[in-house]
Structure 1
Amino acid sequence: NGQANLIHGRNILPELSGIVDSISISLDAENEEKYKEICRPALDGAYEALLSFIKMAKDYIPHVEVSVVEHPLVDVERCRKIAEELGVRFRLRRLNVVG
C-alpha cells in the first residue's frame, strides 16, 4: 500500500529491502483533489504520503512501478509524467479487465 508509511507512522521500506524485489503501487490520480474523490482515503495527507512512498521505494526495492486505472476522471498522461518525474515505471490498467 502506498500509504504504508502514513498508516504505520514510520518508514517501513527498510523492512522490505532484500525481501521484496518488485512493487506496484496504485497512483490512481494526478492530484490530491482527484485522489480524494476517487479513492476516499481515510487519512489526511494520503496523496502526499503516497508520492513520498513511491519516491523512497526506489532506494529499497529494485523494481518500482506505479499503476493507474484508465478512467474518465484521470489524466493518464499527467500520471505517466508523475511516474517519470519520480523515476519509476508506469503501467496503465484497463477498467474492469482482469489479467
Structure 2
Amino acid sequence: MNTNNNIQDKIDSTLNALDTLNSVQVSPFFKDKTMQKMFAEKQVTSKSWSWFTPQLQLATLVCVVIVNVYAIRQINSAKYNDAISSFASDYGLNSDSESSFLKL
C-alpha cells in the first residue's frame, strides 16, 4: 500500500502545480481576427505577368506597329514582287506555266 500512497502523492503534487498557474489574458477580439485570417478570400494574382507593366505594354505595341508598317511597305514595293517572281520561277512554282493533271 506504500506504492499506492506514493502514486497519490504524485497526483496531488501535479494537481497543486496546476493551481499555481496564472490565467492567460487574451485580447477580446482574438477569435474574430483569427477567424478572419483563416477564412479570408485571397485574391490570386498571376506573378508571371507582373513584370509586364503598362509602360512596357505600350513600348511593345509601338514596336509591333512599326514592324508591321515596315513589312507592309516592303511587301508593296516592286523589289519584293520581283524577288518573289524570280524565286517562284527558279523553283518552278509558277502556277500559270504548269498544267495540273487534276483539271478536267
TM-score range, shorter chain: under 0.3
Higher RCO (CA < 8 A, seq sep 6+): 1
Q: TM-score, normalised by structure 1?
A: 0.20
Which of the pair is proportionally richer in helix? 2
Which of the pair is proportionally richer in strand? 1
Q: TM-score, normalised by structure 2?
A: 0.19
